[in-house]
């Protein structure tokens, strides 16, 4: 089996189908972008790949023993939670090594003392550094400044070079162009 993930004519949703049929094969070391207008089911497709949404039809094959990490757009509330950044990373098995300097210097701060962008990047880093073969990212550049997007772009390339497969949902065209090997446009029916 030379693929991490293969989907054929997959239709996913929650109470009812929310996507058109999608075909995708993802190999280790590959970064694929999913783009398209709001409402075509990009986030729902990621949820289905992670086993959170319903697969109504089609086929979903994962490499046996595949370890998966999912970053969603949901940001858990941290106000009053006495959890430091280093502790968050430890919960996912992530290492602080490689964090950008602007966040590494704040790693021992409580999460509720970080800015929204710092908290978002730290949560994203916890997912990116988790021991996973397949990383699913849903709008990862939301709330990130230019330095955060640049660091994320470089790190995703490193993760792919180390053998992880990555699927990224994003409306950030510059980010998708910089990081993805292929792009699937949902709702448009073609692959770039």
Strands 68-71 and 134-138: parallel
Q: Is 143 left (phi over 0), alpha (psi -120 to 50) or beta?
A: left
Q: Please tell me the distance from the alpha carbon of residue 31 to that of residue 48, in angstroms, as a whole number.
A: 18
- Cβ within 8 Å of residue 26, ≥6 positions away: 3, 4, 5, 6, 32, 134, 165, 167
- Please name each of the domains of the chain with its CATH number: 5-191 (3.40.50.300)
The DSSP secondary-structure symbol of 53 reads S
Structure tokens given for 26? 């993802």
pLDDT reported for residue 79: 77
pLDDT reported for residue 188: 52
Q: Please name the residue ranges forming H helices in 50-144.
A: 85-92, 101-104, 116-129
Structure tokens given for 116? 């929204």
Does an H or E element contain 138, and which? strand 134-138
pLDDT reported for residue 132: 92
pLDDT reported for residue 70: 92
- Cβ within 8 Å of residue 67, ≥6 positions away: 131, 132, 133, 134
Does an H or E element contain 13, and which? strand 5-13
Exposure of 18 in the CB half-sphere (CA atoms within 13 A): 19
pLDDT reported for residue 92: 84
**What residues in the chain have per-residue pLDDT under 50?**
1, 189-192
pLDDT reported for residue 54: 96
| Angstrom distances, CA of residue 47 to CA of 24, 68, 73, 136 | 15, 12, 11, 9
pLDDT reported for residue 77: 72
Q: Is 69 left (phi over 0), alpha (psi -120 to 50) or beta?
A: beta
């Amino acid at each position: 089996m030379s693929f991490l993930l293969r989907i054929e004519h997959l239709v996913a949703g929650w109470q009812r189908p929310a996507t058109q049929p999608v075909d995708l094969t993802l190999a280790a070391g590959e970064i694929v972008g999913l783009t398209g207008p709001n409402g075509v089911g990009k986030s729902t497709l990621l949820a289905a790949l992670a086993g959170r949404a319903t697969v109504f039809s089609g086929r979903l094959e994962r490499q046996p023993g595949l370890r998966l990490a999912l970053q969603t757009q949901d940001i858990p509330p941290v106000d009053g939670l006495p959890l430091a950044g280093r502790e968050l990373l430890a919960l996912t098995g992530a290492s602080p090594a490689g964090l950008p300097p602007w966040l590494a210097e704040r790693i021992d701060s409580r999460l509720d003392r970080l800015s929204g962008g710092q908290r978002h990047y730290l949560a994203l880093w916890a997912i990116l550094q988790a021991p996973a073969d397949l990383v699913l990212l849903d709008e990862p550049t939301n709330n990130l400044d230019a330095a955060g997007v640049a660091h994320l772009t470089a790190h995703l390339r490193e993760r792919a070079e180390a053998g992880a497969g990555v699927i990224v949902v994003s409306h950030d065209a510059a980010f998708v162009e910089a990081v993805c090997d292929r792009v699937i446009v949902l709702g448009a029916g073609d692959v770039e």
